[in-house]
Amino acid sequence: MGRKTNQEIFEKISLICKGLFTKSRVRDIPEFVVPKENIIELEKRLKQDGFNMILDLFGVDFYDNQKLKDYAEVNSRFAIIYHFLKIPDNERIRVIVPVEDGESVPSSCSLFIGADWFEREVFDLFGIKFDGHPDLRRIFLPEDYEGYPLRKDFPTKGVKEYIGTKYTPNFVRLKDRNKKHTEPLDPFEEGSRMVVNVGPTHPATHGTFRMIFELEGEDIVGVDLEIGYLHRGVEKNSENMRWEDFIPMTDRLNYLSAYLNNMIYTEMIERWCGIWDDVPARAKFIRVILGELSRIADHCVSIGTMAVDLGALTPFWYLFRLREEIYTVFEWAVGARLTTSGTAFGGVRKDLDEKTINHINYIVDKLVPEVIRDVDGLLTKNRIFIDRTRGVGKISARDAIEWGFTGPSLRGSGVAWDIRKVAPYGLYEEFDFDVPVATEGDVYSRYLVRMEEMLQSARIVKQALKNLPDDGIMIKSDKFANIPRLPEKKYVYTQIEPLIHHFKGMVEGVVPPFGWYYFGGEAANGELGYFAISYGKRTPWRIRIRPPCFAIYQAFRHMVLGHKLADFVAVLGSINVIAGELDR
Amino acid sequence: MKLLKHKKLSKKLNLFIMLEKGSPTEATGIIAPPETRYKNVERTPSLTENLYVKAIEGFKVTIKNLFQKKVTIRYPEERKELPKDYRGRHYLDTEKCVACEFCAAACPVNIIFIAGEPHPEKIRHPRIFNIDILKCIFCGYCVEACPTGALQMTDVYELYSPERFILTIDELARKP
């Protein structure tokens, strides 16, 4: 069965949704401009056709930029952009819904439940209302915040300072117990509910986010999640940054596997500018090696901290030993441990030397299997661990897809979905590896998937090291005007021409072609995607980050309902929520 | 008992997925894209695991590790070796610096402040060169931008100061 090309998908969707859209075209993926009255009908038809996930939903403010409006073929100030995805066929389409200031859009929550938090985010940052949304509150910013930050007329520095946040919980409750409780709450009375607050700084929340639980005895019957404690406005800040300055910002999304974030962002710009094929193979190999190592490090933290939360401290030490060795590699291969910023447009910033390669060989040949064997011996067959994790936080394949799960959490539910396989980017086509899947969809399944994935990553690194080519780490070609090639430093210091090139490169910088582009890759937690709009200047018009955690964490409410209070730490550890990525 | 329960549960779930999705690729209930080669890592606990035997076997792992070489180091007496181009605190070679302000322009967080003055030999010389080290993200872009190799990064990562975090030109020019 061959994969459909964009043109075929475009023709198919045009036929299915005839009369619902006003404009359509094929860019990086098929695009449809749909008036807001038709969006629900369009979603219904897409769902019938098998599109089962809203991968991303976000807003764009065109403000007064007529050229961008012409590019998008809309006439309104705002547009809401939907990315629909079909699993397992990997068909993607983009739907653009034009919205004027003050207008509202019908909510997609009734059809795609995963749109829930994405719509709240658009409401929070753009002030666009969604009709029929069950829970339309601000999500990152405090309730009493004035203005909508991602609008172009909102100053980057903000309007005023806010001390303390105002927050009114709105619980998601177990369906059969949805009767209203009577105030005041008396925890000692039979059948009454107690509210327990967890976080923002709690040992089980590896980051800052707050959970409010409603308990009946020890059973969780109501949950509300408050996020946004680490909201730094990365997307707003990006609008005043050069394209290359955004690479260090991507370090701070999922800071446990910063290199993967760098890698995906850089590859997006390279593919967008059309220079991907000219990037030397050695640079691509180094990216794969370091990226997979950081995936191992990420899973180390995920499994280790989950085990600590469940009361098993020893696996944590073994896993963190492995992580420390990987970070030693990063010290030598990149020059930093956590915030790597290791890639540059057109290659990588530093070459691997002999010592580092030997160290990586030691890690993937000896240390990873050894540590995995130890942790396996401690946890996998341990009845105590199995009892705490088996059947906890269960989510079926269908629900997981609908909530927008990607990555190990989706594979734990029995869907062999890995972007490295279905739409190979980087050099992943050339490596031989399997996609681990587990079918139960509970915490234990996700743990098994992560364990196997570490071994598979080590396998990829082994193959990459064996075939490491030797053709430089930076793009050589001069024919690309929009990616200036910085000459080597030793020539800059001594010769005039490289110095001129250096000056020119520093002053002009990178300018991707006018328009927009989406690229997603498999980060440690799932699909990390970047959608960027360039308006022909040195700074982006907008960079949208599609965080994998965000979609997964919204389903957390439904995963813990009905379980005991002590089980939420297991679920939280297994989905590996990273606050930096969640809040951006 | 537990064993039976797990098996039953997984069978039920597989059936559920099959009914929901129509055509799973295999009877195991795994949804997979056509070309993806996957590996099912799902497992059901054996009888010995259910009897806590395997849990006690975990002690073998810890005891084995007890007699292995220590992996920790005695910081600060012992230190890890770091590469020369580690991205630590900055060092400025004032004799090379021409106050071109490229580093300040390249800085993503705008923490470098430079004021130049005329110089008889190299035309311009930095009079003021401040780096707000507290805001620094240690990306190394300033070093990449420097056309004379004056600004470098050292392997000093222990950044502490009783009161000030803005490194002036005198502090930057001090060799670590």
Residue finishing a domain among A167, A200, A225: A167
Which residues of chain B lie closer than 8 angstroms to A90, CB-CB? 33
- pLDDT category, B3, cuts 50, 70, 90? very low
Instruction: Give yes or no for residue B79 having a pLDDT over 80.
Output: yes
Better-scored residue on pLDDT, A94 or A423 = A94
Residue A178: its pLDDT value, please?
47
Q: Is residue A180 part of a domain?
A: no
Residue A20: its pLDDT value, please?
79
Which residues of chain A lie closer than 8 angstroms to B147, CB-CB? 492-493, 499, 502-503
* Residue A417 C-alpha, separation from nearest chain B C-alpha, in angstroms: 7
Select from B55, B65, B85 the Cβ nearest to the Cβ of A383.
B55
Q: Do B30 and A445 touch (CB under 8 A)?
A: no
Q: Do B31 and A503 touch (CB under 8 A)?
A: no
CA distance A308 to A101: 49
Which residues of chain A lie closer than 8 angstroms to B56, CB-CB? none
CA distance A180 to A507: 63
Q: Do A397 and B17 touch (CB under 8 A)?
A: yes
* Residue A23 C-alpha, separation from nearest chain B C-alpha, in angstroms: 31
Residues A244 and A133 in one domain: no
Mutate to test the interface with A, among B139, B142, B146 (most CBs of A within 10 A): B139
CA distance A412 to A525: 12
Which helix (H) or strand (E) segment is A351 a member of?
A: none
* Residue A105 C-alpha, separation from nearest chain B C-alpha, in angstroms: 30
Residue B1: its pLDDT value, please?
39
Residues A255 and A385 in one domain: yes
Residue A520: its pLDDT value, please?
87
Residue finishing a domain among A141, A167, A193: A167
Quickly count: other Cβ atoms within 10 Å of residue A568's Cβ: 23
* Residue B161 C-alpha, separation from nearest chain A C-alpha, in angstroms: 22
Provide the number of structural domains found in chain A.
2
Measure CA of the first residue to CA of the last residue in chain A; give whole Å.
39
Q: Is residue A277 part of a domain?
A: yes
Which residues of chain B lie closer than 8 angstroms to A437, CB-CB? 30, 32, 38-42
What does the CA dihedral A450, A452, A457, A461 come to, rounded to 10 degrees?
150
List of residues 6+ apart from A521 with CB closer than 8 A: A260, A263, A264, A267, A419, A420, A425, A426, A527, A528, A529
CB A452 within 8 A of CB A255: no
Q: Do B40 and A386 touch (CB under 8 A)?
A: no
Averaged pLDDT, B117-139:
85
Q: Do B31 and A89 touch (CB under 8 A)?
A: no
Q: How far is CA A241 from CA A48, A333, B136, in A?
A: 42, 26, 16
* Residue B163 C-alpha, separation from nearest chain A C-alpha, in angstroms: 26
CA distance A544 to A521: 14
CB A482 within 8 A of CB A510: yes
* Residue A100 C-alpha, separation from nearest chain B C-alpha, in angstroms: 34
Select from B61, B82, B139 the Cβ nearest to the Cβ of A248.
B139
Q: Do B17 and A396 touch (CB under 8 A)?
A: yes
CA distance B21 to A52: 11
**Both tokens of residue A458?**
């080590």
Summarised one tens digit per residue, pLDDT across range A350-381 is: 888 888 999 899 998 988 998 888 888 888 88
Tell me which range, A8-12, A420-424, A464-468, A472-476, is most confidently predicted by mean pLDDT: A464-468
Residues A149 and A245 in one domain: no
ipTM over 0.90: no
What does the CA dihedral A118, A122, A125, A130 come to, rounded to 10 degrees?
-130
Least-confidence region, from A193-197, A257-261, A381-385, A497-501: A497-501
CA distance B126 to A335: 27
Residues A128 and A263 in one domain: no
DSSP secondary structure string for all residues of B97-152: -----HHHHH-TT--EEEEEEEETTTEEEEEEEEEETTT-----HHHHH-SSS-EE
| Bond preceding residue A184 cis, omega within 30 of 0 | yes
**Both tokens of residue B142?**
């300033």
Residue A575: its pLDDT value, please?
87
CB A400 within 8 A of CB A415: yes
Residues A520 and A392 in one domain: yes
Select from B9, B36, B54 the Cβ nearest to the Cβ of A383.
B54
Least-confidence region, from A240-249, A273-282, A572-581, B26-35: B26-35
CB A346 within 8 A of CB A485: yes
Measure CA of the first residue to CA of the last residue in chain B; give whole Å.
67
The distance from CA A574 to its chain's CA centroid, rounded to whole angstroms, is: 16
Q: Is the pTM higher than 0.90?
A: no
Residues A354 and A470 in one domain: yes
Residues A426 and A303 in one domain: yes
Give me the residues paired with residue B113 across strands.
B130
Residue A480: its pLDDT value, please?
55
Q: What are phi and psi of A128, to 5 degrees?
A: -95, 125
Select from A314, A385, A414 the Cβ nearest to the Cβ of B62.
A314
Which residues of chain B lie closer than 8 angstroms to A495, CB-CB? none
Which helix (H) or strand (E) segment is A446 a member of?
A: helix A443-466
CA distance A258 to A250: 7
Select from B29, B37, B82 the Cβ nearest to the Cβ of A414.
B29
- pLDDT category, A483, cuts 50, 70, 90? low
Check residue B41 and give left, alpha or beta (phi > 0: left; psi -120 to 50: alpha). Answer: alpha
Which residues of chain A lie closer than 8 angstroms to B98, CB-CB? none
Which residues of chain A lie closer than 8 angstroms to B144, CB-CB? 349, 486
User: Please, what CATH class does the domain formed by B90-172 belong to?
Assistant: alpha beta
Residues A52 and A150 in one domain: yes
Which residues of chain A lie closer than 8 angstroms to B50, CB-CB? 383
Quickly count: other Cβ atoms within 10 Å of residue B79's Cβ: 11
Q: Is residue A307 part of a domain?
A: yes
Which residues of chain A lie closer than 8 angstroms to B45, CB-CB? 381, 383, 386, 390
Q: Is residue A221 part of a domain?
A: no
C-alpha closest to that of A265 among A426, A409, A122:
A426
Q: Is residue A227 part of a domain?
A: no
Select from B16, B38, B52 the Cβ nearest to the Cβ of A435.
B38
* Residue A177 C-alpha, separation from nearest chain B C-alpha, in angstroms: 25
Q: Is residue A223 part of a domain?
A: no
Which residues of chain A lie closer than 8 angstroms to B39, CB-CB? 434-437, 452
Give me the residues paired with residue B58 across strands.
none
DSSP secondary structure string for all residues of A115-158: HHHHHHHHHHHH--EEET-TT---SSS-TT--S-TTSTTS-TT-
Residue A307: CATH number of its domain: 1.10.645.10
Residue finishing a domain among A167, A196, A213: A167
Which residue type occupies B5?
K
Q: Do B33 and A422 touch (CB under 8 A)?
A: yes
Q: Domain residues for A144?
A: 6-167
Which residues of chain A lie closer than 8 angstroms to B58, CB-CB? 377-378, 381-382
Instruction: Give yes or no for residue A418 having a pLDDT over 80.
Output: yes
Instruction: Give yes or no for residue A270 having a pLDDT over 70.
Output: yes
Check residue A357 and give left, alpha or beta (phi > 0: left; psi -120 to 50: alpha). Answer: alpha
Angle among Cα A199, A527, A293 to the nearest 5 degrees reads: 85
Select from B37, B55, B145 the Cβ nearest to the Cβ of A382.
B55
Q: What are phi and psi of B83, to 5 degrees?
A: -70, 160
Which residue type occupies A76?
S
Reduce the DSSP state of residue A14 to 3 states and report it. helix
List of residues 6+ apart from A584 with CB closer than 8 A: A231, A232, A233, A234, A235, A253, A545, A547
Residue A391: its pLDDT value, please?
81
Q: Please, what sign has the CA dihedral across residues B154, A352, A260, A91?
A: positive
CA distance A298 to A527: 15
Q: Do B9 and A378 touch (CB under 8 A)?
A: no
CA distance A480 to A278: 10
Residue A152: its pLDDT value, please?
87
Cβ contacts below 8 Å, chain A against chain B, sum to 180
Instruction: Give yes or no for residue A472 having a pLDDT over 70.
Output: yes
Which residues of chain B lie closer than 8 angstroms to A445, CB-CB? 42
Q: Do B49 and A381 touch (CB under 8 A)?
A: yes
Percent of chain A clearing pLDDT 70 (strictly above): 94
Q: What is the mean pLDDT of chain A?
A: 84
Residues A459 and A338 in one domain: yes
Q: Is residue A229 part of a domain?
A: no
CA distance A45 to A556: 28
Closest alpha carbon within chain B to A410: B31
Residues A317 and A397 in one domain: yes
Residue B73: its pLDDT value, please?
87
Select from A242, A321, A506 the Cβ nearest to the Cβ of B102.
A506
Residues A113 and A238 in one domain: no
Residues A163 and A239 in one domain: no
Q: Do A506 and B31 touch (CB under 8 A)?
A: no
Antiparallel, parallel or unpaired: β A129-131 and A172-173: unpaired
Residue A121: CATH number of its domain: 3.30.460.80
**Both tokens of residue B132?**
């707000």
Instruction: Give yes or no for residue B13 having a pLDDT over 60.
Output: no
CA distance A478 to A489: 17
CA distance A43 to A49: 10
C-alpha closest to that of A359 among A328, A336, A317:
A328
Closest alpha carbon within chain B to A333: B83
Angle among Cα A136, A142, A148 to the nearest 5 degrees reads: 70
Residue B66 burial (C-beta neighbours within 10 Å; 0-12, 13-18, 19+): exposed
- pLDDT category, A190, cuts 50, 70, 90? low
Summarised one tens digit per residue, pLDDT across range A192-233 is: 677 888 878 877 777 788 888 888 778 888 888 888 888 888
Residue whose structure tokens are 């938090």: A117
Averaged pLDDT, B11-28:
42
Select from B36, B41, B148 the Cβ nearest to the Cβ of A452.
B41
Which residues of chain A lie closer than 8 angstroms to B104, CB-CB? none
Residue B7: its pLDDT value, please?
47
Q: Do B55 and A390 touch (CB under 8 A)?
A: no
- pLDDT category, A531, cuts 50, 70, 90? very high
- pLDDT category, A296, cuts 50, 70, 90? very high
Residue A189: its pLDDT value, please?
61
Helices (H), A32-145: 39-49, 66-72, 115-126
Q: How far is CA A347 from CA A337, A409, A531, A574, B117, in A?
A: 19, 31, 21, 34, 37
Q: Is residue A382 part of a domain?
A: yes
Which residues of chain A lie closer than 8 angstroms to B86, CB-CB? 331, 335-336
Q: Do B141 and A241 touch (CB under 8 A)?
A: no
